[in-house]
Homo-oligomer: A and B are copies of this chain.
Amino acid sequence: MRAGLRVGIVGATGAVGQELMRILPSRGWSVAELRLMASPASAGRRLRFGDEELVVEAAEPQRLSGLDVIFFSAGASVSRELAPEAVRRGAVVIDNSSAFRMEPDVPLVVPEVNMQDARAHRGIVANPNCSTIIMAVALWPLHRAARIRRIVVSTYQAVSGAGARAMAELLAQVDAERRGEPYEPAILPYAAGARHYPIAFNVIPQVDRFDQGGYTKEEWKMVHETRKIFHEPELAVTATTVRVPVLRSHSESINVELARPVDVDEARALLREAPGVEVVDDPDRQLYPMPRDWSGRDTVAVGRIRADYSCPTALNLWVVGDQIRKGAALNAVQIAEGLFA
C-alpha cells in the first residue's frame, strides 16, 4: 500500500466506520492523515486509532478538502449531499451507501470480480450491498468457468446489517424473553417501518422496505447489483432475503444454474483457486461454514457444494461472509488499495 495517503471516514462512529479503523492499520496502511467525520450529534467524540486518539468532526463540505480518499458510510442521503462535494475538492470517494450504485457512470466494484471498473471512476466508486458482495465473490469463479444462467438465493442475514441498534434490540429481546418480561420491538425489520416484529427466537422474511412486485429493496439490490458487477445486464436472479437472530455474518443458500454441467469436484477446485474464497466443505466430518465461526474473517466461505439432481447443470451452495467486513469495510479498503497501489 502506498504510504502517506490522507484518508477521511464519513460515518466513523458506525459499525462500518469502526471496522474501517481496525482494517486500515491491519493491512499496513500508514496514513499521513486520518480525518474522522460523523453526524453533528457525534462530533467531539474521541476514537482510538492505533496509538492516537482522534476527535470526530461534523461532516461538512469544507472538512472534505485536502484528502486523497474518503470512505462514506453514513447512509444514502449523507452520501448524496457530501460525496459530490468531496469529489469537487479532489478526493476519491468509496461510497458504502446505495446512493450511487446504479448510476451508469459510477463503477460498482467487488475487487475479486471487476477491479478494472474502479479505475474508470469519475471520483466516486460504489461499494455494493453486503449480501450482493458475498454472493458475487462466491459465484464469480463459477460464472467465469461455466457462465451462470440463473441464480435462486435465500438469505439468512444477521441483525447487525440493520445497524448497532438492531443488535442491541436482539440482545435486549432475548434477555426480556428469558425473564418472562414483555418487549416492544422498535427497529426490525427496518426502523422507519410502520410495523416492528420481534427477532428473538424468530425469523423475519423482510430486509429493508418493500418495493416493486412484492420484493424488498434488499432483494432487488441482489438482482440489479449482481448484474452490474458481472457486466451481465440480463442475468436471471431471484432472491428472498430473511433476517435471522444472528449477531454478525450473513449466510446464503444459493442454487445456481450454469450453461454447462460442473461437477462437485470441479466446482470445489474452481472455488479453492478463487481469490477471496475459502472452501469449507466436508460432509463426512460435518464441516461447513457457519456465521458464528466466520465473523471477523476476510474471506467468503463456501460449503455444502452439491449437484442439484433436479437440474443437470445446477449446483447448490451454502455461502457465509462477515457482512460488516468483506460485505462492507474490507471491500471498500480493497477498492482503495487497487486504486492507490
A binding-site residues for B, Cβ under 8 Å: 150-152, 154, 156, 171, 174-175, 178, 189, 193-195, 197-198, 201-206, 210, 213-215, 223, 236-238, 240, 242, 244-247, 251, 253, 255, 264, 283-286, 288-292, 303-311, 314, 316, 318
Contacts and interface: CB of A to CB of B under 8 A. Distances in A.
A202 B292 contact: yes
Contacts of A237: 310
Contact of A286 (B195, B240, B246, B316): B195
A293 to B, nearest CB: 8
Contact of A292 (B201, B205, B283, B303): B201
A205 B236 CA distance: 25
B150 A201 contact: no
A285 B154 contact: no
A224 to B, nearest CB: 11
Contact of A203 (B189, B210, B290, B308): B290
A181 to B, nearest CB: 14
24 contacts: A152-B152, A152-B308, A154-B154, A154-B253, A171-B178, A178-B178, A189-B286, A197-B292, A203-B244, A205-B288, A205-B303, A205-B318, A214-B264, A214-B306, A223-B309, A236-B309, A236-B310, A238-B310, A238-B311, A238-B316, A240-B255, A245-B245, A253-B253, A255-B255
A202 B316 contact: no
Contacts of A174: 174, 178
A202 B255 CA distance: 22
B310 A151 contact: yes
Contacts of A305: 214
Contacts of A318: 205, 240
A205 B316 contact: no
A88 to B, nearest CB: 38
B286 A213 contact: no
A247 B174 CA distance: 12
Contacts of A193: 286
A308 B311 CA distance: 17
A290 B199 CA distance: 10
B202 A246 contact: yes
Nearest to A189: B286
